[in-house]
Amino acid sequence: MGMNASVTKLAVLVLPIAVFATAISVATAQTAAPGNVVQRQDGMKAMANAAKSINAMFKDTSPYDAKAFKAAAETIRSHSGATLSALFDGSVTTAGSKASPSIETDRQQFDKLAKDLGIYASALSVAADRNPDTLGPGTRMQTGDAMGGGPLARKVDAARDAVAMPAEHAFHMMLQTCTSCHAKFRMEVK
């Protein structure tokens, strides 16, 4: 009889935990399922935080740390390209998403921007390897470096130009890629 009482007490303790865990699993699946919205948002936040870290090092508001710089660049690289594109497969306009339906209609441009983002992030990762101690003059933008925008700027080919340009220029081109993508493919939710 003592054993049955122990089993009953155990069942009384375990059952609510199992029900709670199941409820959390169902709620999580419902939240994450619509178009990978949660994964997309988490990836965007990770990239934004990584970009802030790199920006602080370029602005000298944070000391340069090659490992942290590389880790931030790799965070952006790992969330971009095909990984980013895959999170927007299928119907992108789901509850809680700011994704524009134009992703579906202009998929080639979206995928190119996702790929370019990864190329610029890779260039920053290489720059960290090449500059273990400091962001020297060769990593900084120089007077006359065109940003790739405006009527007089030469068109930049990320795949061809990213590693050859100063790291700061690659960083600004990466930010411009983010801005271009958000302008075209992100809806403002009011």
Domain ranges of the chain: 1-32, 36-185
Q: Does residue 146 sit in helix, strand or coil?
A: coil
Q: Does residue 163 sit in helix, strand or coil?
A: coil
Class of residue 44 by CB neighbours under 10 A (exposed 0-12, middle 13-18, buried 19+): middle
Tokens at 29, concatenated:
């699946």
Predicted confidence (pLDDT) per residue in 88-135, tens digit: 988 788 878 899 999 999 999 999 999 999 999 999 999 999 999 999
Separation CA 6–CA 12 (nearest Å): 10
| Predicted structure pTM score | 0.77
According to the model, what pLDDT value does residue 34 have?
Answer: 58
Residue with tokens 């930010």, as numbered in its chain:
175
pLDDT truncated to tens, each residue of the chain (190 aa)? Answer: 555 554 444 444 444 444 344 333 334 433 444 548 899 999 999 999 999 999 999 999 999 999 999 999 999 999 999 999 999 988 788 878 899 999 999 999 999 999 999 999 999 999 999 999 999 999 999 876 555 554 445 567 888 888 889 999 999 999 999 999 999 999 986 6
| Architecture, CATH, for domain 36-185 | Up-down Bundle (1.20)
